[in-house]
Amino acid sequence: MKTSTPKKALSLQFPLIALFGATTISMLGSVLTLIAVPWFVLVTTKSATKVGLTAFCETVSIILAGFFAGTLVDRMGYKRTSISTDIASGIAVALVPLLYYTIGLAFWHLLVLVFLSSFFETPGSSARAALFPDVARQAGMPLEQANAFLQAIQRGTRLFGAPLAGILIALLGTSRLLWIDAATFLISAVIIALALPRSSVVPAKEPNRRYVTELKEGLQFILHDRLLFAIIVTVMITNFLDAPFLSVIMPVYMRNRFSNAVDFGLAFAAFGGGALVGAVLYSLIGHRLPRRVTFLGASEPGACSNWNAWSGIRNSGSRFAALRSSWDGSCGISS
């Protein structure tokens, strides 16, 4: 009995450990995509306009996927959605270097593949997040602790994944990095498929309900909840204004000024580091602060430092990026 207890505990904890591992690998792949795709466009086309078009396609796909993701995840099940979307994202990313080295990659091919990769990634992330409560309960881990680990993974992959992407681009080239990027999604899908039990990851849903009906109910719930609606609109606006900075201005500026993907990765990692600092600070003192004042107070300096980092002191971009993102980190958690 004494020898079986640790084995039983490990068997209960193994799905949660595997889920943490799969999430880490998948998020690492997402960070590699964020670095590799705009750099690939700049290297192959040398056009900031095409970088902007690529970012536009990515943003539109995320918006559309977010609109339909919740209902699709509920209908397909968390585990099935996570596996299928990771595989689809991996295939879409892998087709970029495959076409580039074989029949040729037209720019519209790249736009379609970027759109598909981002479109599938959104419901996959939602499904993995939905897996955590049940899997954490089965492992005996408090939900607060599991959420803390998940937040650490999100910030850690950006902090360490971005410079890793820059180094790999310098060593292997952007197109070869995309092969590694595609592999991360496929590895994540395999881990979820083999390590998570089916019984604990299928959401309860009412039978014979039409998809449009469920979608309409979700929209009505959001529209009738003033606070939730205000939060969604605020996040949409801030993300809309923030997207050009990370996906267009930052890579173009780093390419023109430094011509080095490593510097781009380090500057991008400053956002992960700043967000991690902000999250730690808020976890220590956030419960003592009024949420509304904290949200407004963190948003304004974050927005100002976003642009001052590049228009004011150009040679200190990473330092200002870290400062700005530390504000955003506390702001995001307080909201």
Model pLDDT for residues 211-224, shown as the tens digit of each residue: 667 667 777 887 88
Q: Kindly list the distances between the CA atom of residue 109 and the CA atoms of 30, 145, 193, 249, 276, in Å, as whole numbers in the listed order.
A: 20, 43, 30, 23, 36
- Predicted confidence (pLDDT) at residue 334 exceeds the cutoff of 70: no
The mean pLDDT of 254-268, rounded to a whole number, is 80
Domain range summary for the chain, segments of one domain joined by +: 9-205, 218-335
CA–CA separation, 165 and 159 (whole Å):
11
CA–CA separation, 202 and 335 (whole Å):
29
Higher pLDDT, 226 or 285: 226
Architecture of domain 9-205: Up-down Bundle (1.20)
DSSP code string of 17-49 = HHHHHHHHHHHHHHHHHHHHHHHHHHHHH--HH
Question: Residue 214: what pLDDT?
Answer: 67
Question: Residue 124: what pLDDT?
Answer: 85
- Predicted confidence (pLDDT) at residue 136 exceeds the cutoff of 60: yes
Question: Residue 198: what pLDDT?
Answer: 64
In this prediction, what percent of the chain has a pLDDT beyond 70?
Answer: 75
- Window from 96-105, 132-141, 186-195, 287-296 with minimum mean pLDDT: 287-296
The mean pLDDT of 127-152, rounded to a whole number, is 79
- Predicted confidence (pLDDT) at residue 24 exceeds the cutoff of 60: yes
- Predicted confidence (pLDDT) at residue 119 exceeds the cutoff of 80: yes
Question: Residue 2: what pLDDT?
Answer: 46
The mean pLDDT of 22-45, rounded to a whole number, is 87
- Which of 199-208, 258-267, 282-291 ranks highest by mean pLDDT? 258-267
Question: Residue 97: what pLDDT?
Answer: 92
pLDDT band at 102 (very low <50, low <70, confident <90, very high): very high
DSSP code string of 183-236 = HHHHHHHHHHHHHS-GGGSPPP--TT--HHHHHHHHHHHHHH-HHHHHHHHHHH
- pTM more than 0.85: no
Question: Residue 95: what pLDDT?
Answer: 94
184 in Cβ contact with 54 (< 8 Å): no
Average pLDDT for the chain: 76
Higher pLDDT, 86 or 311: 86
Higher pLDDT, 277 or 193: 193
- Predicted confidence (pLDDT) at residue 323 exceeds the cutoff of 90: no
CA–CA separation, 111 and 96 (whole Å):
10
252 in Cβ contact with 306 (< 8 Å): no
